[in-house]
Chain A
Amino acid sequence: MRSVYLDHAATTPLHPEVSSLMGEFMREIFGNPSSLHSFGREARKWMEEARQKVANLIGASAEEIVFTSGGTEADNLAILGVALSRSEKGRHIITSSIEHHAVLDTCKFLAKKGFEVTFLPVDRYGIIDPDDVRKAIRKDTILITIMHANNEIGTIEPIEEIGKIARDHGIIFHTDAVQTAGKIPVDVNTLNVDLLSLSAHKIYGPKGVGALYVRKGVRLEPILHGGGQERKYRSGTENTIGIVGFGKAAEIAARDLDQEFSRTKRLRDKLIRGIFEKIPDVRLNGHLKQRLPHNANFSFFGVEGESLILSLDLQGIAASSGSACSSRSLQPSHVLAALGLPYEWIHGSVRMTLGRTNTESDIDYVLEVLPDIVARLRSFSPLARKLQA
């Protein structure tokens, strides 16, 4: 059977150059980068090269990169680290209602521990109004954390402008760039950010490794204590194999960014056009233009998302959904809810995220298979009947 992977926002396969370098490294280099002897020095050399490559991807200096176990830890370190180091100055945090759970739930955790959190709304395209950020700022605001682009709907937020507001007020600004780095240009100086989260496995690197960019001069309390690795920000012997893979992935992502941007965007636009041509009662969630090039998020009225995902899977197509039934928590997507989307549409949502694995014929195949799947599920849906009536 054909196999079409349209879930690159969930994770990506290792780039062949990444896996071959990791293979070489793990066979030959095992030293602890903290050791003084030649084995340790050799491992450190590889690790520092990787650090430079990750820094290059976001226009940072190598010494501003702190390696972590992934995007979730980077978000936790940023938010908890600022909260712990600045709690004397204030206990107010500003975030948005559409953040990834790694940010959202960390903020909610702090709210239970005596901090106050403002969750900003978004408009119907998922865009945060910088004016809302300005208005939410108080004397005791210590941190603003707003994602660079949303993982579900691909909406790109006005980070540059929000960063400027934060800077004017002397407030630390963190952005989760897990979905954007390597996909669209990310530059920490243009974006006016102090802290920025990254993940390797979203850019054809390995799972279990990520990084937090920490601007020079920004103080953070560590959340992991021990041997003082990563300039004391993150104790624990570094995941050298993962870090080396991350470095290579970052280098390739930077090298191929323009080409992959145009290629995935062209295929994505073809997918959107085709679906609107072939399937009635469909909507595109998110913003039409201010959007990641590889993201499409549709809602098919009267169709339940999990049924749609499983039907696609039976035809070899991998996608994801924001429906309640498709999540383990049985909660519908908080992002689609924040857009003000009615439940009938939320449950019928399907996210398709393109990447390196996709070709033109993948899109043709989806456009051939999907209309029949939607029609079949609608044929026995009481909601679809309602719409026709």
Chain B
Amino acid sequence: MYSEKVMAHFRNPQNVGEIPDASGVGEVGNVICGDILRVYIKVRDNVLEDVKFMTFGCAAAVASGSMTTVLAKGRTIEEALQITKKTVAEALGGLPPHKRHCSNLAADALRKAIEDWKHKEARTVS
């Protein structure tokens, strides 16, 4: 059912965990549908110096979290904002049709984390 890349990331997910002094945190999903994914970012000089994720979810959720952090780490904020569900799914060699929306949450969580960071930045400046 899952591609080899999905299974590889599921077996050995990259960048799992929390960032205690994160610049921004984003969470998507809910417990009713059964997938929750949280992304932590550490921003320095407009670059995502570190990206980590935590998830309660299926193999597709774990793999999309892992792949998103791999794609985002070391990128500028502008570059990271270009990462979409589609980019993540393609990088994973595709996802089963019924998993394309509900479990592919990490790109949205990343965007939320960046927004969270932007809010905090705005407050610090003012």
Is B31 within 8 A of A306, CB to CB?
Answer: no
Q: Is B103 an interface residue (CB 8 A)?
A: yes
**How far, in whole Å, are A384 and B35 apart by their CA atoms in the complex?**
13
**How far, in whole Å, are A328 and B2 apart by their CA atoms in the complex?**
13
> For residues 340 through 389 of chain A, which have their beta carbon under 8 Å from a beta carbon of chain B?
343-344, 347, 379-385
Is A343 within 8 A of B16, CB to CB?
Answer: no
Q: Is A325 an interface residue (CB 8 A)?
A: yes
- Chain A residues whose CB sits within 8 angstroms of the CB of B54 once the complex forms: 380-382, 385
Is A382 within 8 A of B56, CB to CB?
Answer: yes
Contact A330 to B10, CB < 8 A, known contacts A306-B58, A310-B59, A382-B54: no
Partner of B56, one of A302, A328, A330: A302
Is A343 within 8 A of B55, CB to CB?
Answer: no
Is B56 within 8 A of A381, CB to CB?
Answer: yes
Closest to B6 in A: A310
Q: Is A332 an interface residue (CB 8 A)?
A: yes
Output the least CB separation between A301 and chain B (Å).
10
- Chain A residues whose CB sits within 8 angstroms of the CB of B11 once the complex forms: 314
- Chain A residues whose CB sits within 8 angstroms of the CB of B56 once the complex forms: 302-304, 347, 381-384
Is A344 within 8 A of B55, CB to CB?
Answer: no
- Chain A residues whose CB sits within 8 angstroms of the CB of B17 once the complex forms: 380
Closest to B33 in A: A324
**How far, in whole Å, are A382 and B62 apart by their CA atoms in the complex?**
12
Is B59 within 8 A of A380, CB to CB?
Answer: no
A-B contact count (CB 8 A): 70
- Chain A residues whose CB sits within 8 angstroms of the CB of B61 once the complex forms: 304, 307, 325
**How far, in whole Å, are A326 and B34 apart by their CA atoms in the complex?**
10
Is B55 within 8 A of A382, CB to CB?
Answer: yes
- Chain B residues whose CB sits within 8 angstroms of the CB of A325 once the complex forms: 34-35, 57-58, 60-61, 99, 102-103
Output the least CB separation between B118 and chain A (Å).
22
Q: Is the interface of A mostly helix, strand, loop or mixed?
A: helix
Closest to B2 in A: A310
Is B33 within 8 A of A330, CB to CB?
Answer: yes
User: Residues of A within 8 Å of B, CB-based: how many?
Assistant: 24
**How far, in whole Å, are A323 and B16 apart by their CA atoms in the complex?**
23
**How far, in whole Å, are A325 and B63 apart by their CA atoms in the complex?**
14
Is A306 within 8 A of B13, CB to CB?
Answer: no
- Chain A residues whose CB sits within 8 angstroms of the CB of B58 once the complex forms: 304, 306-307, 310, 323, 325-326
Q: Is B36 an interface residue (CB 8 A)?
A: yes
Closest to B52 in A: A380
Partner of B36, one of A303, A326, A379, A382: A382
Is B57 within 8 A of A330, CB to CB?
Answer: no
For the complex of A and B, 7 pairs with smallest distance between CB atoms: A325-B58, A306-B58, A380-B16, A324-B34, A347-B34, A381-B56, A383-B56
What are 19 pairs between A and B in contact, CB < 8 Å? A303-B56, A306-B59, A307-B61, A310-B58, A324-B34, A325-B57, A330-B33, A330-B98, A330-B102, A380-B55, A380-B62, A381-B55, A381-B56, A382-B27, A382-B54, A382-B55, A383-B31, A384-B56, A385-B54
Known: A307-B61, A310-B7, A325-B102. 15 other contacts (CB 8 A): A304-B34, A304-B56, A304-B57, A304-B58, A306-B58, A306-B59, A307-B57, A307-B62, A310-B10, A324-B33, A325-B57, A332-B34, A380-B54, A382-B36, A385-B54
What is A's interface to B at a CB cutoff of 8 Å? 302-304, 306-307, 310, 314, 323-326, 328, 330, 332, 343-344, 347, 379-385
